[in-house]
Chain A
Amino acid sequence: MQKRQKRFEVLEQRAVNKDGFIKEWDEVGLVAMDSPYDPKPGLKIENGKVVEMDGIPCAEFDMIDTFIANHCIDVNVAAEAMAIDSLEFAKKLVDINVSGAEIKRLVPGLTPAKILDVLKKMNVVELMMAMQKLRCRKTPANQAHITNVKDTPALLAADAAEGSYRGFQELETTVGIARYAPMNAIALLIGGQVGCRGTLTQCAVEEAMELQMGMKGLTAYAETVSVYGTDQVFVDGDDTPWSKAFLASAYASRGIKMRFTSGTGSEVQMGYANKKSMLYLEIKCIMITKGAGVQGLQNGSISCIGVPGAVPGGIRAVLAENVATVLLDLEVASGNDQTFTHSPIRNTARMLMQFLPGTDYVFSGYSGVPNYDNMFAGSTHDSDDFDDMLVLQRDLQCDMALRPVTEEQIIAVRNKAARAMQAVFQEVGFPAITDEEVEAATYAHGSKDMPDRNQPEDLRAIEEFLKSGKTGLDIVRALHKHGFQDVAESVLGMLKQKVSGDYLHTSAIVDENFNVKSAINDRNDYMGPGTGYRLEGERWELLKNIPQAISPEDI
């Protein structure tokens, strides 16, 4: 071009043009939800057994097909469900006169290709309608990532306290250095309870280590238990549907809540999509989760969001996978937990798909820390966006489970968490947290504001801690001894949750009075206007009153 058009020169510099886009490429599975290679729906049952599913005879089933046929498909309802025209089924999903319970009675009779065929009939607004009606828990909730690049414990505890104080019912951490896992888990356990009693905390690391920490009472739930939609990728992830089902029961046997993780794009990214669309493969992951008897799933592409994000209709497919999860009556922690675009406009548009209808956890990892400290590679929104989120809730009268706070309140809970952590370190034999660290953690924006610790010393102490056989009860004793009676009571309260097992049920969260709210006693009963969760009354009064709003009386 000899002469540039000036508007195009400006557009070229826009954030969205730093993103990568690709045209559909069916042969490698770079297609959101409509590949010509996706199987046609069909199901044959003989003597109560699935003998053919989506055109594949059982002799040719791979491991995943076998698991789905054996554990997920309900042969008693299959004939009735499969006979319903896909378009009619899709209409039921948005029809306010058809209850969620009736839909969920039929869905276990559907094959993966049939569920795909139903979802393909729906646009994003219809998918949001379905989510609003079908998500398992009535009250939406939210989850935050709490991590930092230095794995510095006082800051982790302070950030956890701020996160739970702001309203996140679940907090997830991970590590910069793998061996820090137990220390980071303890920081979230303590900080989470300082900010709000009943907060569930987890530490995402390798499967066996993650289970071990749960067994010691250092975490309340687990989430990073990955499943995949093709055999080869599953095995490359060093598991099978059976090993994962076994692991699921192992968690429940220790009274620990657990959900699986999957997401569109993971199979393409790992090179074995078998020419299938991303959503088709993801539906298989959801059905594996259901078949394993796990209560819920984290999906919404998760760490592979760049892949569906690059193809046409990809973000619609991501919403569709969240809907498929609730359709199968599973808790959904609905993504929005990884940066996928340079464009703030795209970022927020993607998040609205879950925020507007409400999900069990709108974000399965809102970055409760600045994104530079987010060890999950950054979320769509971070701690610098808190006020934007509060205003969005207020603008739209729509709840993402966050609440307005004051600077004084946040300073107080951050400081208390850092001091509680300091006390526990002294008792369990970890290298001291200095007063300087407590002060820095209280007022920090992120780890840039924290002094460095002696990492080799920390890691040696963590090894000792693991060998010592210490458990969550030692944390309780340490807190109590140093005057943090209320925090000690709360940590013990979380340990006691594992005795009753109430929070093993679908979509369970624990409120500030240690009452479990799940899909059983807080069942979503949406059937149109005037039903389901409504942001009103006391909660709406709370969310209206952001500190920035001026009051006419004060003028």
Chain B
Amino acid sequence: MYAQMVKSEASTDDPELLAAFQARIDAGEKIEPKEWMPEAYRKTLIRQIGQHAHSEIVGQLPEGNWITRAPTLERKAILLAKVQDEAGHGLYLYCAAETLGVSRDDLTEQLLNGRMKYSSIFNYPTLTWADIGAVGWLVDGAAIMNQVPLQRTSFGPYSRAMIRICKEESFHQRQGYDLMRAMATGTAEQKAMAQDALNRFWYPALMMFGPSDKESIHSTQSMAWRIKINTNDELRQKFVDQTVPQAQYLGLTIPDENLVWNDEKGGWDFSEPDWSEFYEVLKGNGPCNTDRMEARQKAWRDGEWFREGLMAHARKSAARRVAAE
């Protein structure tokens, strides 16, 4: 998911307060920023929301790569709007994280020095125009799987950010599928490009949900706190079941020879992605990790004079207004 393998913290708070807090969550109440919460809840959420926000921001890079080369003005306008949305989604999430007492600059710094992560998926390159379709269809499709249930998460600001994001995200997936459809029903060469994009993005998309967490203690704690709603396996299964017929409609083949309908469970059986590849990408050894981090660091460095200049101007104008009064 956009937040993968988020470790929860062990609670060291007063058991009575903890029990009262859990009772509020079990009753479906929303927890708001100024209310009491276990330190572990706060820290886990900062990690999770921060990682989610970073993913939105870094996620602009693989798509931004194609804005100047979109094949038509309409596709270019759509892609621009989508990438702008990703920036907006990052901002909603940073704001939610900041209500927990972490500053924006602190979050940015932790991304830039590698202490905080972003989703593994954005370390894969977008080599052809069809990849832009695959990203919208599969990557945003997988993200939506996770984000829709998170609208009901226990932390108020996170839940509200998710509601906003989900409202906008559906456009992202649909434009991706529309793009894939145009390619799949185009020339033989275009269809081959669409198939190639699906081949390359299928397993990385499955990895987005993270490895099986059926037995993970982090997952159990996060689910009790309702900052995680479904297990990784549940969401992955849902994603596969949703996506297979969509691929069939396009006349494209899911690159998995073990893919077979399982009547008993009412879903598809499918191959697991190569988890050793996933861990390598998380460690920083994916195809684009270095590029992505360098791009973010450069943007931050290059923007420094501008951020400071605007602040200096704001201070000066404020001082001038005070003097005039």
Our verdict on whether A and B bind, yes or no, reads: no
